[in-house]
Amino acid sequence: AQSVSQHNHHVILSEAASLELGCNYSYGGTVNLFWYVQYPGQHLQLLLKYFSGDPLVKGIKGFEAEFIKSKFSFNLRKPSVQWSDTAEYFCAVRGGGADGLTFGKGTHLIIQP
Amino acid sequence: GAVVSQHPSRVICKSGTSVKIECRSLDFQATTMFWYRQFPKQSLMLMATSNEGSKATYEQGVEKDKFLINHASLTLSTLTVTSAHPEDSSFYICSVPEGDEKLFFGSGTQLSVL
């Protein structure tokens, strides 16, 4: 069975700081990888996804993530965060074929002005 | 332990039959639950927001009569795929918000319609 681990449950940063949220997964085969964001009071939105090709994926709002197969990781990064980035961030993995989607427990990011 | 229980995890059914998927909040009461669908090679798509005691709010393009949502209690929401067809085969997952900050996911249901 696949699993997803997000290392940081709560992260507090100041505006303009750089961000990196860790995500590791366990699955032996081909995977599809996702980062979703949930802003307060809203439902999930897709930030970015990786299916194949260039392991460095660029998403919306200046976010990017790098798939490192050897480390089973898909960390989310942003060079300079803004107060509006305060939200809950979820990493998700889906194995190839008919496997379901597995979410990490989420990282609550708070950006202080 | 699990905060949200989703059942069944996998279901295979014949075309034309109806399938019910349950989403239970185990640790807290939830007036709102979300239902998502994910097709292969695509990202998650919000189908509808389930509201306890009132009608669900459906996203544009989602057929209300096909995907019946019932949020009968503060801990249970059900999604019924009526008269299922092969194109309804997908991965369905529910999520339950706790307040404005936390979101918990069910384990998902893989539906295969033959």
pLDDT in tens, B36-78: 998 776 777 889 989 998 899 998 899 999 999 999 899 999 9
State which of A10-19, A20-29, A98-107 shows the largest mean pLDDT: A10-19
User: Is the peptide bond prior to A113 cis by the omega test (within 30 degrees of 0)?
Assistant: no
pLDDT the model gives residue B1: 62
Instruction: Count CB-CB contacts under 10 A for residue A49.
Output: 20
Residue A102 vs residue A92, higher pLDDT: A92
pLDDT of A96 > 70? The answer is no
Whether residue B67 contacts residue B78, with contact meaning beta carbons closer than 8 Å, is answered with no
Structural tokens at position A86 = 């305060």
Contact (CB<8Å) B102/A100? no
Of A70-79, A86-95, A102-111, which one has max mean pLDDT?
A70-79
Whether residue A1 is predicted with pLDDT greater than 80 in this model: the reply is no
A97 pLDDT exceeds 60?
Answer: no
Pick from B46, B100, B108: CB nearest A100:
B108
Instruction: Please compute, for residue A69, the number of CA atoms within 13 A of its CA located in the half-sphere on the CB side.
Output: 11
Instruction: Examine the pLDDT at B99 and tell me if it is beyond 80.
Output: no
Pairing of strands A44-50, A101-103: unpaired
In degrees rounded to 5, what are phi and psi of residue A85? -85, -5
Residue A49 pLDDT greater than 80, yes or no: yes
A33-61 average pLDDT score: 89
Q: A72 in the Ramachandran plot: left (φ > 0), alpha (ψ -120 to 50) or beta?
A: left
Residue A61 — φ and ψ, nearest 5°? 60, 30
For B3-25, write each residue's pLDDT tens digit. 899 999 999 999 999 999 999 99
Q: Which are the contacts of B6, defined by CB distance < 8 A and separation ≥ 6?
A: B21, B22, B23, B24, B93, B94, B106, B107, B108, B109
Binding-site residues on chain B for chain A (CB distance < 8 A)? 9, 34, 36, 38, 40-41, 43-44, 46, 49, 91, 93, 95, 100-103, 105, 107-110, 112
Which of B49, B91, B105 is opposite residue A103, by nearest beta carbon? B105
Number of C-beta neighbours around residue B9 at 10 A: 12
The whole-chain average pLDDT of chain A stands at: 90
A5 touches chain B (CB under 8 A): no
Residue B101 reports pLDDT greater than 70: no
Residue contact B38–A41, C-beta within 8 A: no
| Per-residue model confidence (pLDDT) at position A102 | 83
- Contact assignment for A100 to B46 by CB distance below 8 Å: no
Percent of chain B with pLDDT over 90: 64
Kindly identify which residue of chain B lies nearest to residue A34, measuring between CA atoms.
B43
Q: Which residues pair with B7 in a beta bridge?
A: B22
Instruction: Kindly state the average pLDDT of the residues A72-88.
Output: 96
CB B90 within 8 A of CB B111: yes
C-beta atoms of B100 and A41 within 8 A? yes
* Structure token pair of residue A66: 């790098």
Mutation for B interface: A30, A33, A34, A94, most B CBs within 10 A: A94
